[in-house]
Structure 1
Amino acid sequence: MGDLKQHSLIKAQERLRDQVGHALRAALIAGQLEPGRVYSAPTLAAELGVSATPVREAMLDLAREGLVEPVRNKGFRVTEVSERDLDQYTELRTLIEVPTIGIVTRIAPRERLEELRPIAEEIVASAREHDLIGYLEADRRFHLTLLGLAGNERLVETVGDLRKRSRLYGLTSLDKAGLLVSSAEEHLELLDLMLSGDAPAAESCMRRHLGHVRSLWADQADQAK
């Protein structure tokens, strides 16, 4: 019985580590954790209402993903992403996601595509309600689930990693400027095109969507200078 209890505790700790990691990633993408700034595990743990251990473990996971870097005896520094980095990540996503959208449009059953409509609507609703964390989570689920219909798990993992690395620090500014809703509505447009079976149009919409997000970030970054 003792071994089973210990196993249960380990699994619970692993789940908490994943939950903390997800919360920290969302905060990074939304700009709540600022690039270049050092954060200590105890401070973050107090804000999240957990112990420092799962926070340290989650931050080590983020460090392996290149999102933060350890600072000896201080904590973790949020890595900065240059515009060149963002351009390259966007280029990679375009090379992968645009043709994959065409494939999914041709092979995915309509009912599987229709299952994504509530998520697309959730993205729009979150943007209108200024719920950035909700927006990011719904956006992640929509894109990765959609790509998953192509049947290539490694592709989904690769895009998921690119999404983490290409976090947009200007998301809060986009929301305040009222530009996030138009980007959110493109998910419904994409879904409708795919349901119509128009693969070339769906690919064009996906390419425009990725470029739109990148250009909006660049415009907001320039205004902030």
Structure 2
Amino acid sequence: MAPQHRPALPVLGGRKPSYRERVADALRAALIAGELRPGEVYSAPGLAARFGVSATPVREAMLDLAKEGLVDTVPNKGFRVTAVSERQLDEYTHIRSLIEIPTTADLAISADPVHLEALRPLAQEIVTSAATGDLISYVEADLRFHLGLLSLAGNTHLVEVVRDVRRRSRLYGLTALAEAGRLEASAKEHLELLDALLARDEEAVREVMTRHLGHVRGLWASKT
């Protein structure tokens, strides 16, 4: 069994999120990482104890996640995490491939090297989280890295589409990879991607992104 972590509530870029939003972000990350399992019912007090916060913001945050279709409310009990089918996972991968591979490849030509280099601490944070088995921090850093990279293309609607797809995904295989000591190698693809972008090697960027998304789909498929 992987160790249980009490994740720190994230503070993402841009405006400072409200406490409710920070709780919701942490819950989403736990859900995406597979630490909150589909079909399981979780109470607000139970989640509050797990995250080290009070029950009220957890309850409010879970209602936000219910509006997004990530959980269903269970009267007098709590919230049930919704399941995601293999077909949905294939569709999510297809959407990400259509958007992220060409957009990221174009950044090899258009992106300011200073802006690319500014993403290196996030890429390193992904590697560090993988090495320590902190899956929720891994998911949070990975999300910020990819959305930050896509934002360099200057299309906010594109970024929001990818954000929504990622919120609906599940990385069931993270725990198994972390336990096997293989997650760190996968995490280093983010550093490899940055190096290819800074080298202005469009074909290498396309290859790394294609390989990376293939690994992500494998994680989505690993439900054991």
Shift of 1:22: 1.4
Aligned AA (1:76): F
C-alpha separation in 2, matches of 1:186 and 1:146: 14
Are the counterparts in 1 of residues 32 and 168 from structure 2 also a CA contact under 8 Å?
no
Q: Which runs of 4 or more aligned residues in structure 1 lie more than 4 Å from their structure 2 counterparts after TM superposition?
A: none
Shift of 1:64: 1.7
C-alpha separation in 2, matches of 1:104 and 1:138: 20
Unaligned runs of 5+ in 1: 1-13
**Matched residue, 1:189:** 192
Say which of 103, 107, 111 aligns to 1:104.
Answer: 107
**Matched residue, 2:118:** 115
Q: Report whether the alignment pairs 1:23 with 2:30.
A: no
Q: Report whether the alignment pairs 1:202 with 2:205.
A: yes
More helix by share: 1
Unaligned runs of 5+ in 2: 1-16
Query: Structure 1, residues 158-211: CA drift from partner, whole Å, max 9, x if none?
Result: 111111111212211111122211210111111111111111221221111001
Q: Superposition pairs for residues 145-224 of structure 1, below 5 Å?
A: 145-218=148-221, 220-221=222-223, 224=224
Q: Report whether the alignment pairs 1:66 with 2:65.
A: no
Q: Is the radius of gyration larger for structure 1 or structure 2?
A: 1
C-alpha separation in 2, matches of 1:71 and 1:109: 48
Are the counterparts in 2 of residues 28 and 167 from structure 1 also a CA contact under 8 Å?
yes
Are the counterparts in 1 of residues 70 and 168 from structure 2 also a CA contact under 8 Å?
yes
What CA RMSD, in Å, does the superposition of the two structures yield over aligned residues?
1.6
Shift of 1:217: 4.5
TM-score (norm 2): 0.87
Query: Structure 1, residues 20-41: CA drift from partner, whole Å, max 9, x if none?
Result: 1112112112222121011122
C-alpha spacing 1:138/1:78, structure 2 compared with 1 (3 Å)? same
C-alpha spacing 1:47/1:126, structure 2 compared with 1 (3 Å)? closer
Give the percent of matched residue pairs that are identical in Structure 1 and Structure 2. 64
C-alpha spacing 1:216/1:78, structure 2 compared with 1 (3 Å)? closer
